[in-house]
Amino acid sequence: MCQEFDLKWHHAVTRVVIGDGALGGLGDYCRAVGRFERAIVVTDENVAGQFGNRAAETLRSVGCAAEVAIIPAGDASKSLRRVELLYDRLASFGVSRDGAVVAVGGGVVTDLAGFVAATWMRGVAAVLCPTTLEADIDAAIGGKTGVNHSSGKNLIGVFRHPPLVVVDTDCLKTLSDRDMAAGMAESVKHGVITGEAFTAWHERNASAVLGRDEATLGELIARNIDIKASVVARDEREESGARAVLNFGHTIGHAIEKVSAYRLRHGECVSLGMVAACRLSQAMGLLANDVADRVERLLRVYGLLTRLDQPVDVEAICDHVGRDKKTMAGKTRFVLLKALGETVLESDVPQDAIRSAIASIQPGPCGSP
């Protein structure tokens, strides 16, 4: 049985379907939100054979002409060059305003295909079928689409909610343990920023999640989508500051991602960034030690890094933190923690405190997990 619910935004509605084997019903779910005549299924080389082709078949079975466009796996595919190649496919296949772009893959595919859909003919429908945990609970929800620019990640993009997101929990069976853990970093983040209930849920359900129990994964994804959507609904275009809470762990996390030259997964960097943000919150006298220790323990349970695997140059990280997208008038705005479920935005953080928070996640005798 699939769970089905609607996310209501200011000017759009997203139907969400979650369940084991949900991809098999994609054609019918599409029919319920629109009569698409033609669709291009955008998928990457790792998932095309198993999931991309299946999606195209179910579309054809309901009378929607579908072609599959396969992109190379990896963030390098989030480029304007790739966008152009996909426009070529849409043009030659004759996808017009009544058509759709269907994404089947991780966050790279959903971000890229979402952007192509949002811009082709000033916008055709995007149907997102995320296949990684990161995409299920984060990238596919909230309307951010886009590609990278040579000067930075995600610098080109638009906000546009898809009418349909179909999450097939079965896809997670083939996901590597490393990618699964990376996705769990965002889930732990959602627990920490909302409070005791979902944090304790993570503690209670670790073995079921790690064992990829279908029902537990379904609940995990639904709860995460609910949290992300309710934060986004308060600040759809990142204007009021409400959406900033989702950046918990991301300021230092992004800097680590860059300094490590993208050797580490985004979620791994977010895990390290959350540990550093907790330590920073402690240093600022906001957070009790036991909460910071609890967050760290939870990240380790899910197989995440809480110390860097290789030493990094603290100054290089500080430098990148200072160049964060959210830096205003030379001050970086951190999301700090006062308690589980209680965050504060703080722009007045002393450099020394930032340095020691970063030092606290360096590998070392007292730092080994």
Ligand X SMILES: NC(=O)c1ccc[n+]([C@@H]2O[C@H](COP(=O)([O-])OP(=O)(O)OC[C@H]3O[C@@H](n4cnc5c(N)ncnc54)[C@H](O)[C@@H]3O)[C@@H](O)[C@H]2O)c1
| Angle, vertex CA 203, rays to CA 250 and CA 131, nearest 5 | 60
**73 near ligand X, rule: CB under 6 A:** yes
Residue 160 a catalytic site member: no
**108 near ligand X, rule: CB under 6 A:** yes
Rounded least distance, CB 114 to ligand X, Å: 7
**249 near ligand X, rule: CB under 6 A:** no
| Residue 308 · residue 361 · CB < 8 Å | yes
8 residue type, one letter: K
| Residue 294 · residue 354 · CB < 8 Å | no
- Kindly report the number of other CB atoms within 10 A of residue 68's CB atom: 18
Out of 78, 243, 265, 279, which one is annotated catalytic? 243
341 residue type, one letter: G
Residue 11 a catalytic site member: no
Out of 144, 160, 202, 279, which one is annotated catalytic? 144
Rounded least distance, CB 182 to ligand X, Å: 6
Q: Find the residue with minimal CB distance to ligand X.
A: 107
DSSP per position, 242-298: GGGGGGTTHHHHHHHHHHTTT-S-HHHHHHHHHHHHHHHHHHTT-S-HHHHHHHHHH
The encoded tokens of residue 185 equal 């970093």
Residue 250 a catalytic site member: yes
> What's the chain's length in residues?
369
Q: Measured in Å, how far apart are the chain's first and last C-alpha atoms? A: 40
Q: Which lies closer to ligand X via its Cβ, residue 132 or residue 194?
A: 132
Out of 247, 265, 296, 333, which one is annotated catalytic? 247
Residue 254 a catalytic site member: yes
Residue 266 a catalytic site member: yes
**236 near ligand X, rule: CB under 6 A:** no
List the one residue from 24, 27, 106, 253 that touches ligand X (CB under 6 A). Answer: 106
Q: How many whole angstroms separate alpha carbon 286 and alpha carbon 344?
A: 9
Rounded least distance, CB 149 to ligand X, Å: 13
Residue 243 a catalytic site member: yes
Q: Which lies closer to ligand X via its Cβ, residue 188 or residue 284?
A: 188
Q: Which lies closer to ligand X via its Cβ, residue 292 or residue 304?
A: 304
List the one residue from 174, 230, 240, 347 that touches ligand X (CB under 6 A). Answer: 174
List the one residue from 42, 71, 167, 171 that touches ligand X (CB under 6 A). Answer: 171
Give the sign of the dihedral formed by CA 280, CA 201, CA 195, CA 181.
Answer: positive
138 residue type, one letter: D
| Residue 47 · residue 130 · CB < 8 Å | no
- Exposure of 45 by Cβ count < 10 A (0-12 exposed, 13-18 middle, 19+ buried)? middle
- Give the interface segment with ligand X, choosing from 74-82, 286-294, 318-326, 345-353 (CB under 6 A): 74-82
List the one residue from 160, 250, 266, 279 that touches ligand X (CB under 6 A). Answer: 266
List the one residue from 135, 164, 272, 280 that touches ligand X (CB under 6 A). Answer: 135
List the one residue from 48, 102, 118, 134 that touches ligand X (CB under 6 A). Answer: 134
Helix (H, G, I), strand (E, B) or coil at 368: coil
- Give the interface segment with ligand X, choosing from 128-136, 204-212, 298-306, 308-316 (CB under 6 A): 128-136
Rounded least distance, CB 288 to ligand X, Å: 30
Helix (H, G, I), strand (E, B) or coil at 328: strand
DSSP per position, 64-97: -EEEEEEE-SSGGGSSHHHHHHHHHHHHHHT--T
Q: Which lies closer to ligand X via its Cβ, residue 202 or residue 250?
A: 250
**82 near ligand X, rule: CB under 6 A:** no
Q: At what angle do helices 196-204 and 214-233 cross, to 10 degrees?
A: 160
Query: Which spans of this chain sit near ligand X (rule: CB under 6 A)?
Result: 44, 46-47, 73-75, 78, 105-109, 111, 131-132, 134-135, 138-139, 142, 144, 153-154, 171, 174-175, 179, 182, 266
Give me the active site residues, please: 122, 144, 186, 228, 238, 243, 247, 250, 254, 266
